[in-house]
Amino acid sequence: MLSTATLYVISVSLLLGGTAGFVMHRSDFCIAGVFRDLFLFRQAFMLRILLLLIFASMILFELARHFGILRDYPYLWIAPASFSNIIGAFLFGIGMVLAGGCVVGTLYKMGSGNLLSLYAFGGLLFGSVLYAEIHPLWTSLFAQTLVFSGLATLPQLLDVDPTVPVLLVALLVSALWAGVLRGLPWTRGAAAEGYLQPWKAALFLALIGLLSYVFVGMPLGITTAYTKLGAMVEQLFFPQHVAGLSYLSAQPIHYLPPFSDLTLIGGAGPHFDAVAIIQYPLIVGIVLGSAFSAIRLGEFRVHLRAPRRQIVSVIAGGVMMGLACRMTPGCNVWHLLGGLPIFSLQAVFYLIGLLPGAWVGSRILQKIVVR
């Protein structure tokens, strides 16, 4: 029998995931595409939209903190920065471009019937459990390259109120708005039916991130569930091996859902626990939300034919992303839409690794995959 707290978290996550999936499909909001198109086509339109999303999230999170709506600040499961994060993010950057979408992009594309994204999803699960094999080694590297005395955010490091950097960034954005951003387009003339302008999608996603923070206790994140799901599959074939992996048997997470006094435990292993009740419904929600949108538009269709190079690329990209998600840990959505808005130092390191990774991925895609 599920507790009220568990049912509450599942319902909220499913609803938020479903809305995000619908919004992402309507505007084809691909964060991997933001970086890929910047390097491949010198197109910065979606980069501006992503910056809008991060800025809007920053303002919303700060207002929520200011008015005492956030129970936890920084949010639950935030981690300190280590140079190992940069390596993980670099690998993630290559992987997301080769897979044709990040961990969230893969889900909404899969929901609309894209078979290549389903292959990438398989790669993600494999890569995620592959990490369990190197976890002890990676934990050691993480600890050895830890910086800033284990502090998680810039305001903590500088010992200032978070309002200070928020105001500074707001001033910077205002100056950019009046300067280099002046006159640049914020809408595009897409002919797709039911198209949602990306700037509107960005504001919706910022709001969804805030609702997740307030009602779940943290911003959107789904990657530990990939390991969990992969471990469930692996357990069917190699139960003894799975039981012997420290990463999959540990349950280090203690989760107290907002508006609840029942602490739940969780981890990356093949158990139905705190991670499962938060992240599984998000994954299912994004896929279903996107599928609903595609079906409503009459655009849901599975195409079985794809060039072999592309199939290899998306599977390899998925494996890289899965592995990288645990090395970082976390994905681009977790770091860029959750971490950067509260000045997470790990998110800054993540961005430093992600950019060159996406550049390398774009080169490989252009030279080898799509010829």
Question: Applying CB under 8 A, does 100 fall inside the site for another protein?
Answer: yes
| Subset of residues 347 to 366 that bind another protein, contact rule: CB under 8 A | 365-366
Q: Segment 310-339, which members bind another protein (CB under 8 A)?
A: 310, 313-314
Crossing angle (nearest 10°) for helices 103-111 and 31-41: 100
Q: Which is nearer to another protein, 184 or 370 (CB)?
A: 370
* Strand ranges in the chain using DSSP code E only, listed in sequence order: 253-255, 264-266
Considering only residues 296 to 315 of the shown chain, the ones binding another protein according to CB under 8 A are: 298-307, 310, 313-314
Give the nearer residue to another protein in terms of CB position, either 171 or 370. Answer: 370
Among 288, 323, 343, 262, which Cα is nearest to 81's?
A: 343
CB of 204 to another protein, least distance (A): 16
What's the CA gap between 81 and 343, in Å, rounded? 11
* Nearer of residues 83 and 199 to another protein, judged by Cβ: 199
Does residue 370 interact with another protein by CB under 8 A? yes
**Is the Cβ of residue 32 or residue 274 nearer to another protein in the bound state?**
32
Q: How far is CA 30 from the centre of its chain?
A: 11
Q: Least distance (Å) from another protein to the CB of residue 121?
A: 14
* Minimum separation from the CB atom of position 118 to another protein (A): 11
Read off the tokens for 234.
């692996």
Q: What per-residue string of b and e applies to 181-217 under the rule 16 or more CB within 10 Å gives b?
A: eeeeeeeeeeeeeebbebbebbbbbbbbbbbbbbbbb
Closest approach, Cβ 115 to another protein, in A, equals 6
The 270-299 contact track toward another protein, x by CB under 8 A, reads ----------------------------xx
Alpha-carbon 198 to chain mean position: 18
Read off φ and ψ for residue 266, nearest 5 degrees.
Answer: -165, 170
Phi/psi at 253 (5° precision): -90, 130
Residue among 5, 10, 30, 104 that touches another protein (CB under 8 A): 30
Residue 193 binding another protein, by CB under 8 A: yes
> Does residue 153 belong to the site contacting another protein (CB under 8 A)?
no
Q: Write phi, then psi, for 153 (nearest 5 degrees).
A: -130, 160
Q: Decide: is 253 part of the binding site for another protein (CB under 8 A).
A: no
Q: Which CB atom, from 208 or from 369, has the smaller least distance to another protein?
A: 369
User: What is the 8-class DSSP label of residue 270?
Assistant: S
Identify the residue among 158, 175, 190, 265 touching another protein (CB under 8 A). 190
Quick one: which segment of 39-47, 57-65, 205-213, 239-247 binds another protein (CB under 8 A)?
Answer: 39-47
Q: Which is nearer to another protein, 116 or 203 (CB)?
A: 116
List the one residue out of 59, 213, 84 whose CA is nearest residue 138.
Answer: 84
Identified binder of another protein from the candidate list 73, 83, 148, 195, rule CB under 8 A? 195
Of 17, 33, 209, 289, which lies in the binding site for another protein, with binding defined by CB under 8 A? 33
Which CB sits closer to another protein, 261 or 371? 371
Q: What is the DSSP string of 189-210?
A: ---STT---HHHHHHHHHHHHH
Residues with Cβ < 8 Å from 50, sequence gap 6 or more? 31, 34, 202, 336
Determine, following the binding rule CB under 8 A, whether residue 234 of this chain makes contact with another protein.
no
Residue 252's closest CA among 277, 282, 237, 273? 273
Under the rule (CB under 8 A), what is the footprint of another protein?
Answer: 25, 28, 30, 32-33, 36-37, 40-41, 43, 100-101, 112-116, 188-193, 195, 298-307, 310, 313-314, 365-366, 369-370
